[in-house]
C-alpha cells in the first residue's frame, strides 16, 4: 500500500473527530446516527480535498459482503438476453453493486461451472436465465444459502424466486389471432424442449386449437431449440411439405427462430403474408422495419430488471417478499404478416 494512502483515520486526525464518525458519514449513514449536517458536510469536503477513496476490500471484510452480484445468461448475442443483462446491470449500479457476467452459450456444463465460479468469488447473490433442463445444481446452491433469482425461464414446482412472462397466454393470444383470421393448419416451430419457456408456449398453441375445436396435429409441431438454424431448417421442411400439410401459417416461438424462418422463405421466394402467414414470439427492433412488418408477441417489460433485483435483495437483506413468483403480461402487436383467409 502506498505510504501516502489516505484512510478514514487520516480524515479523522485532520478534523479532530472520531474514526467511527467519519466511517458513518462515508458510508452514508451519518443522518441515521444523528451526525449533524454541518459535520457531515465538513467530513465529505475534507475527504474530497484529501482525494480519499474507500478501501472496498476492507469494507467487504467488515460487512461480509462483496457488493457484487453474478449474472448468468445463455446467449449474450440474443437481443432479449442482452436487454435483460442491461437492465440488471442498470438496477445493480443504482444499489452501488457491480455485476459479474457469465455467458453459458446454452451449455449446461458451462452453466454449472459459472455458478461454482460465482460461489468461489463469494458474490452476494446470483440472477440467472437458466438453460432450463436441469435444476439440481441451482437448488443445491440456493439451499446452501446463495440468494438466487431466475429470470425468463424457471422450473415449475421448484421453490426458487423468479421473474418471467405469461408465455402460455401470449402464445394463446397469437394463435387465437391466426384462427380468427381463418387459419386452420398452423405449424408451430418450438424451441428447447423441456424448458418452461417452450412448454408454456406450446401449451398456449395447443389450447388455442382446442378452444376453437381444431384438431391437434403432432406433425405440425417441429423444432429442437431457440436458435436461428432451427428456424431455417424447419421452415424449409414446412415449405417442402406444404402441399401435403396444407399449412397456411407459422407460429414461431422465438426471435432467433423467426430470423431463420425469414431466410428460408426468402430463398424459396415465399411471400409473407400472401403465400404464408407468420407470427412470432419476442418483439424486436427490426420487427416493424421488415419489408412485411411481423406480428409479434411482446414480453418486453422495462421493469424486469427492477423486479429481479428486488427479489434478489430481499434475500440478501433477509426481507420477506409479498410475492416471490412473478409472471408479467404479454401483449400482441398486430402488423402485416397475417393474411385474412
pLDDT, tens digit, for every residue of 265-286?
999 999 999 999 999 998 887 8
pTM of the model: 0.77
Cell numbers that stand for 45 in this block = 469536503
pLDDT, tens digit, for every residue of 87-145?
999 999 999 899 999 999 999 999 999 999 999 989 999 999 999 889 999 999 999 99
Distance in angstroms (rounded) separating the CA atoms of residues 174 and 21: 60
Identify which of 277, 282, 298 has the alpha carbon closest to the alpha carbon of residue 341.
277
* CA dihedral sign, ordered 218, 171, 176, 178: negative
Is 60 exceeded by the pLDDT of residue 251?
yes
Distance in angstroms (rounded) separating the CA atoms of residues 337 and 249: 10
Distance in angstroms (rounded) separating the CA atoms of residues 170 and 195: 16
Distance in angstroms (rounded) separating the CA atoms of residues 198 and 210: 18
Domains and CATH numbers, the chain: 8-54 (1.10.260), 66-165+302-329 (3.40.50.2300), 167-300 (3.40.50.2300)
Identify whether the C-beta of residue 299 lies closer than 8 Å to the C-beta of residue 282. Answer: yes
Q: What is the pLDDT of residue 26?
A: 82
pLDDT, tens digit, for every residue of 303-312?
888 899 999 9
Cell numbers that stand for 218 in this block = 403432432
pLDDT band at 63 (very low <50, low <70, confident <90, very high): low
pLDDT band at 28 (very low <50, low <70, confident <90, very high): confident
Distance in angstroms (rounded) separating the CA atoms of residues 229 and 51: 54
Identify whether the C-beta of residue 258 lies closer than 8 Å to the C-beta of residue 297. Answer: no
Amino acid at each position: 500500500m502506498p505510504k501516502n494512502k489516505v484512510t478514514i483515520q487520516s480524515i479523522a486526525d485532520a478534523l479532530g473527530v472520531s474514526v467511527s464518525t467519519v466511517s458513518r458519514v462515508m458510508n452514508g449513514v451519518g443522518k441515521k446516527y444523528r451526525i449533524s449536517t454541518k459535520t457531515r458536510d465538513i467530513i465529505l469536503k475534507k475527504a474530497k480535498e484529501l482525494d480519499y477513496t474507500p478501501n472496498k476490500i476492507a469494507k467487504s471484510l467488515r460487512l461480509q459482503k462483496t457488493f457484487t452480484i453474478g449474472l448468468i445468461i445463455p446467449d449474450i448475442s440474443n437481443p432479449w438476453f442482452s436487454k435483460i443483462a442491461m437492465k440488471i446491470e442498470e438496477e445493480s449500479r443504482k444499489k452501488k453493486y457491480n455485476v459479474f457476467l457469465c455467458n453459458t452459450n446454452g451449455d449446461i456444463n458451462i452453466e454449472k461451472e459459472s455458478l461454482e465460479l460465482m460461489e468461489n468469488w463469494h458474490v452476494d447473490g446470483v440472477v440467472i436465465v437458466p438453460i432450463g433442463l436441469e435444476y439440481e445444481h441451482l437448488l443445491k446452491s440456493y439451499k446452501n444459502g446463495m440468494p438466487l433469482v431466475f429470470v425468463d425461464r424457471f422450473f415449475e414446482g421448484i421453490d426458487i424466486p423468479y421473474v418471467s412472462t405469461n408465455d402460455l397466454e401470449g402464445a394463446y393470444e397469437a394463435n387465437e389471432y391466426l384462427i380468427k383470421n381463418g387459419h386452420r393448419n398452423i405449424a408451430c416451430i418450438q424451441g428447447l424442449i423441456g424448458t418452461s419457456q417452450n412448454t408454456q408456449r406450446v401449451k398456449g398453441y395447443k389450447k388455442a386449437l382446442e378452444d376453437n375445436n381444431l384438431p391437434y396435429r403432432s406433425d405440425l409441431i417441429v423444432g429442437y431449440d431457440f436458435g436461428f438454424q432451427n428456424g431455417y431448417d424447419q421452415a424449409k421442411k414446412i415449405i417442402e411439405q406444404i402441399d401435403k400439410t396444407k399449412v397456411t401459417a407459422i407460429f414461431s416461438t422465438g426471435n432467433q427462430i423467426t430470423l431463420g424462418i425469414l431466410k428460408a422463405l426468402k430463398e424459396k421466394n415465399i411471400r409473407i403474408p400472401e403465400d404464408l402467414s407468420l407470427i412470432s414470439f419476442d418483439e424486436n427492433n427490426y420487427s416493424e422495419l421488415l419489408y412485411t412488418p411481423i406480428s409479434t408477441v411482446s414480453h418486453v417489460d422495462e421493469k424486469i430488471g427492477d423486479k429481479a433485483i428486488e427479489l434478489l435483495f430481499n434475500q440478501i437483506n433477509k426481507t420477506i417478499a409479498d410475492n416471490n413468483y412473478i409472471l408479467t403480461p404479454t401483449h400482441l402487436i398486430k402488423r402485416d404478416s397475417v393474411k385474412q383467409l
